Structures are given as C-alpha cells and as structure tokens.
Structure 1
C-alpha cells in the first residue's frame, strides 16, 4: 500500500491515517506531495488516477484508491481486525465513531481561525468566540471520554478517535488557547505518543513553506 500525504507541517487530514498506520505497525510506503503547488493535483493523480486528486489517499497494489481520512480509517479497521483501531466494546465503538465523525465534519471556526502549522507559534491569537466555542465542545468530548473509559487516551488505548483529534492537539500547541488541566494533560500525552512524536519531528525538518499559512494576520 501507498499512503499519499501532504506536508506534515500543514496537512491535518494526512496526519490521521499516517498515525493509524504507524502506531499499529501496518506496512505502507509514504508518498509526500507538497501542498499548494501548481503540480499538486497532477502528482496525486499520477499515483491515484481513480481518485478526485485530494490528500490523503490510500492506494492499493492494484491501483484502487481510498481517499478521505475517515474512509481510510474505516478501511484499515476492516482489513486489520487483529488491531483494535476502534474499541472492541460495541457501545464504546459507537461512541468513538460518533466523536470521530463530529471531528471530521465539524469545528469549522477552529479550522478557519487556528490552522495547523506545527513549526509556527501564534500563542494567544485568533481566539474568536466561534473558535473558543468549538474548543469548549472538544474539551467536553475529551473530558467525557477520558472519564468514562479511564484514559490515558480517549477510549483507553490509542485508536482512530485519538488520531482524528491529533491535528487539534497540534493546533492547541501552536495557538495556545486556554485549556483545562484535563485537556492540557491529554495534549501532553498525545505529543509524546511515539507516532505523533515521529510526525512532529518530520514536520520540523521540512523546508517547503506555504506563505499564507506561516503568517497570522
């Protein structure tokens, strides 16, 4: 399998399936394609001609493609049932799917105002009412999951739900909004999870830059 991803510094969507594959030791070849370049889409289509030309994209040996981070996660969970990508307990699994889907489709104010840029430091900026409302909801999800399932990750062991929220952890590290003690502790645990550490380290070594994402107005 090949996983097509964007720049590790910027590509929040790419981070999610990469973490899942890496954490669970599922073999794959990484193909990194720079975002926001004139040849970005053509480079994706060269590897995945049946895709819409978006990242991330999982490409099988036969050339078939699965795009969208949550679709890739579900595909991997089906293919590798020996790994608990989703919680084994049915009720916990339903809840994990709900909070993952909520992350996938929601929190537009946070995405717009506090984008992912691992190399940057925009501490205290862009704390708009909408972004802070999104953060309050995320903190409630984290608190409820950690209380219910006992931690250290959202459903006990690291899984898809944590991977879905990993880019939020990166955003919080860059923008430094005020967080509860519970959320701050979860952010720190996530940052020291080996797959997350590896992604961060690679992001810090990247040299490709997207100018408009490196400046906070």
Structure 2
C-alpha cells in the first residue's frame, strides 16, 4: 500500500489517514507532499483518475484508490477487521461511530479559527462564542465516552481506536491554542500526545521546512 499525506505540521486530515494506516497494522509506503507547492498542483492537474479528489490523504492498494480519511479508515477496517478500530460492544461502537461522524462533518468554527499547527504555541487566545461552543461540545463527548466506556485504558473507549484517530488533531489544536480543559481531558490529551505514533508524526512535522505564514499567526476573534 501507498499513502500520500500533506504537510505534517498543518494537515489534520492527513494525520487522521496516517494514524488509521498505522492502526491497521499493515505495512505501507508513505509519501509526503507540500499541499501548497507547485509540484503538488502540477501532480493534481496531470493525475487524471488517480487523484480524483485532488486532496490528501490518498491510499493506494494495488488498483484500489481510496481518498478521504474516514473512507480510508473504513477500507482498512474491512481488510483487518473492525475490532481493531471500533469497540466490540454494540452500545460503545454506536457512540464511537457517531463521534467520528460528527468530527468528520462538524466543528467548522473551530477548524477555521484554530487551524492545526503542531509546532506553534499561542497564549491568551480569545475564542469567539461559536468556537467556544465547539470546544464545549467536544469536551462533553469526551467526558461521556471516558465515563461510560473508558475503563479499559487511557483513551476514549479504553484502547486506542477510530475515535482517537479522529480526535487526535483536536488534541493538537487544544494544545497549540492553549484551550483550558478539565482534568480528565488533560489526562486524555496527554495520552494521545505521548502516543508513539503521535510523537513520530510530531518529530516529522518539526523537521519540515515548509512554512505557511497565514497559519503561523495568533488568531484574533
């Protein structure tokens, strides 16, 4: 398999696709591209059907081409078994799937106001009400998952799985922008941040030479 990802410092969807590939346990070749570079723009225009979305992440598996991080996760779960990604319990799995779907389709105020930037730390950020609402909603979901199904380990449903894959970039955002969180959330965030895969991605992000100045400035409400 081959996985194309974008700038590791900035591309939250690439992180999700990459973590899903790591979680699958399958070997894959990784290609990192500068999403805003001329080479990537040229590759998209010349790709034809190979890059149908023109976005990352993109997974190749022989003749199969899968784009979109959630589609990649589902495709990999089909290959290795859903229990590697999702809780076995029906009730827990229903909540996990709903949380992942909500993350996939929602929280646009948070995404726009707090773009992922793993190298930066901002202090004293004032969040608009709609961003505060997203933060409260996410913390509420985390609290429910941890309280009901987190007894088996430090992650949302105990062991690392699909929900953690999809909320890992949120953990990064909360750290970057100094979001104040309750103790249970701080403990969860630490577990995600210190996970060996996250540390590997972070090290690569810190080594990247690509800089996007528009994402390196503190946001202003």
Specify if TM > 0.5: yes
Contact 1:122 1:174 in 2 (8 A): yes
Distance 2:105 2:125 in 1: 24
Correspondence list, 1:20-169, <5 A: 20-44=20-44, 46=47, 49-62=50-63, 64-81=64-81, 84-149=84-149, 150=151, 151-169=153-171
Give the deviation of 1:47 after TM superposition.
9.5
2:218 aligned with 1:216: yes
Range 96-105 or range 23-32, more displaced = 23-32
**Cα distance in structure 2, aligned partners of 1:2 and 1:41:** 19
SS at match of 1:39: helix
Instruction: After superposition, give the CA deviation of every residue in 1:3-27 in whole Å (9 maximum; x if it has no partner).
Output: 1100110000000121122244321
| 2:23–2:84 contact (8 Å) kept in structure 1 | no
Report the alpha carbon displacement of residue 91 of structure 1 after superposing the two structures with TM: 2.0
Cα shift readout 1:100-120 (whole Å, capped 9, x = no counterpart): 000010011110111100111
Q: Does 1:180 align with 2:182?
A: yes
CA separation of 1:86 and 1:47: change in aligned 2, threshold 3 A: farther
Q: Which runs of 5+ in 2 are unaligned?
A: none
Report the RMSD for the aligned CA atoms in angstroms.
Answer: 1.7
1:139-180 CA-partner distances (Å, limit 9, x unpaired) = 001010001112411111100110000000000110011111
CA distance in 2, matches of 1:11, 1:17: 10
Post-superposition shift, 1:50? 4.8
DSSP-derived class of the 1:14 partner: helix
1:83 Cα deviation from its structure 2 partner: 5.3
For normalisation by structure 1, the TM-score amounts to 0.93
Aligned residues: 216
CA distance in 1, matches of 2:209, 2:126: 25
Separation (CA, whole Å) in 2 of partners of 1:71 and 1:102: 14
Q: For the residues of structure 2 that align with 1:170 and 1:178, how far apart are their CA atoms?
A: 13
What does the per-residue CA deviation read over 1:74-115, in whole Å, with 9 as the maximum and x for residues that have no partner? 111111117521112222212111000000100111101111
- Indicate whether 1:8 and 2:19 are aligned: no
Using the TM superposition, give the Cα deviation of residue 48 of structure 1 relative to its aligned residue in structure 2, in angstroms.
6.4
CA distance in 1, matches of 2:11, 2:202: 12
